[in-house]
Chains A and B, each alone.
Chain A
Amino acid sequence: MAKTLGPVKRKFSPWDDPGAKPYIRFENVTKRFGDFTAVDDLSLDIYEREFFSLLGPSGCGKTTLMRMLAGFEEPTSGRILLDGKDLAGVPPYRRPVNMMFQSYALFPHMTVEGNIAFGLKQDGLPKPDIDARVKEMLKLVKLERFAQRKPHQLSGGQRQRVALARSLAKRPKVLLLDEPLGALDKKLREETQFELMDIQYELGLTFLIVTHDQEEAMTMSDRIAVMDLGKLVQVAPPAEIYELPNSRYVADFIGDINLIEGKIASAEGNRLRLACDGIGTSIEAEASGSGAAGETAWFAVRPEKVRISHDPPPEGTVNVLSGEVWDIGYLGDVSVYRVKLPNGAIVKSTLANVTRLVERPIGWDDKVYLTWPRDAGIVLTR
C-alpha cells in the first residue's frame, strides 16, 4: 500500500521550498516554570511527512517543547499551530497527535491487545474495526504471538514495540517519540531505528522525536534541531549539521571535533588565514561568510579529515602540525590517534583500518605530522 506514498525520501526537502506550508508551527513559544525558562521564544516549522529530531542535553527544553505539542503543558506565551489551527486550549485527548512515552507508560492491567486497542475504543470505533486495526498493528511490530500477554511478561524490546503500536494505532497525523529507544541495548536500538524509519515512510506520518543520542538523530532524521538552554542553536539536515555546524556548541555536540582557537589574520575572497598563537602557526581555511580580520575565531576540523603520517609532507603544503602520538584508541573499524603538539594541545586524527594488521604502523610516542587540505575544516566565530 505504501510504496506510492510521497516523494522519494532522498529528495525530500520542503524546508527549502518557500511555498511549502509547514504542518507544525511553533511561533515565538516560551514556557516558564517559576523562575526557570524551559523554552525561550522559540520558532520552528516542521513539515508533513518529515522525520524531525530534537537533539540536546538533558534540561535543554526539548521534552517540554514536545509536551506542549501533545498538550500536557500550555505555552506561557506564543502559539503552536497544527495544520494551520491554533492548539491553544485544546486538551491532549482532543489533539490529533499521539505520543510514545520514554517509560512506554503501558497500562499494566491490560493485555498487549488491550493496550493497543485503548485509543481506538476511546474513538468509539465498532468492534470489528478495532480488532482488525489491532491485528494490523501487532503484525507491524511483529508481536502477533504476544497479544494476550500483560506488559510485565514482556522484554524491554517487546514493550517498546507495544508502546509504538499503541501510539500508531489511531493513525495520528503526528507521532511524538520521547527518547523512544533509550532503554534498548545498542544492537536492538540500531535495528529499531531502521524499522521506525520504514514505518514512518510507509504510513506517511510526521515524526517528531526527542533524543539525546546524536547517532540516533543522525541515522533517522530528515532534519535535526540542536537545542541548548531553551533555544534552537541550529536546524538542518544531518549532513549539514555535521559538516557545516554554525557554532562550536553544535560542532562539539555532534560527533568528534578538533577546535583550535585563533585570530582571523586575513580574509580575502574565499581564503581565510587564522593566526593560532597557541600552536605557534597559522591555519589556512575557506571563509565561511562571517568573520572579519582581527576577530577571535575557532577552526573546527573533524578527526577523520586530519591525515596522520610519519613522513613530513612535501614543501609548500598548507596546514601542517607536528607532534607525538600521545594515545591510541583502537575501535576495530577505525583507530583514533591523539597527538600532542609541542605546546601541549591535543589534536585527534582517525584512520580507517583498511588492512588486516594487528600491529598498526603508527605507535605510541611516534613523531608524526598532521595535515589537512584547506577545505577540510570550518571557521566558527561563536
Chain B
Amino acid sequence: MAEAAPAKGGPGWTRWLVVAVPYLWSLVFFLAPFFIILKISLSQTAIAMPPYLPVFDGLSTFWESVGELNFDNYVFLAEDSLYIRAYLSSLKIAAVSTLLLLLIGYPMAYSMARAPKSVRPMLVMLVILPFWTSFLIRVYAWIGILKPEGLITVFLQWLGIYGPEDQLRVFNTETAVYIGIVYSYLPFMVLPLYSALEKLDMTLLEAASDLGCPPVKSFWVITFPLSLPGVIAGSFLCFIPIVGEFVIPDLLGGSSTLMIGKTLWSEFFSNRDWPLSSAVAVILLALLVVPIVIFQNYQKRI
C-alpha cells in the first residue's frame, strides 16, 4: 500500500497548485460579484450614489448596516405577478426553443457525422462560421429580414404571394424571438450533438441489424441513447443562457414579449432600482442551479 501512494512533496504539491489556480480564479471572480449582488438585493433603493442603502463604509457601522438588510425586494417579487410571469415566460421560451433546437440540430449533427470523413471538417467550419460576425449584428440583420417592409415581405411581394399592401407580421412578436433564438443558438446545439454522434461506432448498428433490428428501430435503441450525453450537453448549453437572454427579445420581440432578462435590464437602467434587479438576478441564478445539479448527477451516473 505504502508504495502505491504518490511521493511526498514534489509531484503531489505541484499538481494541487495547477488545480488550485483556476479554481481560485473562478471562485474569486464568481463569488465576489455574487455576494455583492446578494447584498444589494437585500438593500433598499435610495436617491444616492450608489443608488441603494445601506452602504458598508467602515467597520464601525458594519453591524448597524447589517441590521438594515431585509427581504423586502424578494417579497415584492413574489407579490407582483409581473415578475412571476416574466420568469415563467422565460422558462417557457427557453424550453420551447431548446426543443426546437434539438429538432433542427439533431438531424443536422446526424448528417454531419455520417458525411464522408473528408468533408466533415468543412461542415463543422460552416456551423461555426456565423461566430465570425458579431452576435449583435446578426440579430440586427434579422430585423432587416423580418420587419414589415423587410426582405421577406419584399420577396413575397415580388413572387406575387403578397399584394402590395400585405406585410409580414412577425417582427415584434414571440415568433420573431423564437426565430432569433433558434438561429443564434444552433451551433451550441449542433456541436455537442455532432461530437457525440461522430464517436458512435458504426459496427454497433451493424450488430443491431444482424440481431434482427430494422434501421429505424436501431436509431431509437442504439444511436439515440448513445448520443444522450450530447443531447443533454447541447440542451443545457442552450437552455441556460436562453432563460437569461436579453438582446434577442429586446431587438426582435418588442414590448409584447416578456422575458426576465429584459425585465431585469429595465429595472436596472430605466428604474434605477438596483436592489430589485439584484433580487431578480439572484432568483434567476437559483432557478438555473436546479438543471445544472440535475446535469451533474446525470454525468456522475455515466
Contact = CB atoms under 8 A, between A and B. Distances in A.
B299 interface: no
Interface in A102-158: 103, 105-109, 118-119, 122-123
A109 B220 CA distance: 13
Contacts of B206: 72, 92, 99, 101, 105
B226 A109 contact: yes
B222 interface: yes
Interface residues of A, number: 24
Nearest to B204: A105
A290 B207 CA distance: 46
B212 A119 contact: yes
Interface string A58-72: 000000000000111
Interface residues of B, number: 16
Nearest to A92: B209
B203 A93 contact: no
A99 B208 CA distance: 10
A118 B210 contact: no
Contacts of A71: 209-210
A103 B202 CA distance: 11
A93 B206 CA distance: 9
A70 B213 contact: no
A212 interface: no
B210 A98 contact: yes
A108 B226 contact: yes
A93 to B, nearest CB: 5
A159 interface: no
Contact of B207 (A97, A105, A170): A105
Interface string B192-207: 0000000001011011
A160 to B, nearest CB: 14
Given A72-B206, A101-B206, A103-B201, A109 B211 contact: no
A166 interface: yes
Nearest to A103: B203
B225 interface: yes
A92 B214 CA distance: 9
Contacts of A119: 211-212
B14 to A, nearest CB: 31
B225 to A, nearest CB: 5
B203 A166 contact: no
A119 B212 CA distance: 6
Contacts of B217: 122
B209 A93 contact: yes
A119 B214 CA distance: 11
Contact of B214 (A93, A103, A109): A93
B213 A93 contact: yes
A344 to B, nearest CB: 49
A170 B212 contact: yes
Interface of A: 70-72, 91-94, 97-99, 101, 103, 105-109, 118-119, 122-123, 166-167, 170
Q: 5 tightest CB-CB pairs across the interface, nearest first?
A: A119-B211, A122-B212, A105-B207, A105-B203, A92-B209
